[in-house]
């Protein structure tokens, strides 16, 4: 009995999944959760901002980032790693 398996990837199918509303919503939701947790540790600042867009990786896919809005948020990350901790849970 053979145990060899051949898999043929469908690049267009992967691209359709990566560009679906479901993936966009999952990426946005994850970024917003990280933003919320980071903001909780950045009191006295405007906090952090989450942004989702289509990146050019592998033909395009949804990506997100969370960045400091002001210097106080940057300092909260620098001194207490509020964003890093939010990313790592």
pTM above 0.75, yes or no: yes
The Cα–Cα gap between 32 and 21 comes to 16
Question: What are 35-89's pLDDT values in tens digits?
Answer: 999 999 998 899 999 999 999 887 889 999 999 999 999 999 999 999 999 999 7
The pLDDT tens digits for 66-76 are 999 999 999 99
Do 31 and 52 meet the contact criterion of CB atoms below 8 Å apart?
yes
Question: Cα 34 to the chain's mean position, in Å?
Answer: 8
Sequence ranges of the domains in the chain? 43-89
* Token code pair at residue 57: 């990786």
């Amino acid at each position: 009995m053979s145990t060899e398996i051949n898999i043929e990837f469908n690049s267009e199918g992967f691209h359709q999944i990566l560009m679906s509303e479901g993936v966009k919503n999952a990426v946005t939701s994850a970024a917003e959760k990280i933003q919320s947790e980071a903001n909780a540790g950045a009191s006295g600042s405007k906090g952090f901002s989450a942004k989702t867009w289509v990146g050019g990786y592998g033909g395009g896919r949804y990506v997100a980032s969370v960045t400091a809005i002001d210097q106080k948020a940057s300092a909260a990350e620098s001194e207490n790693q509020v964003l890093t901790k939010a990313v790592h849970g």
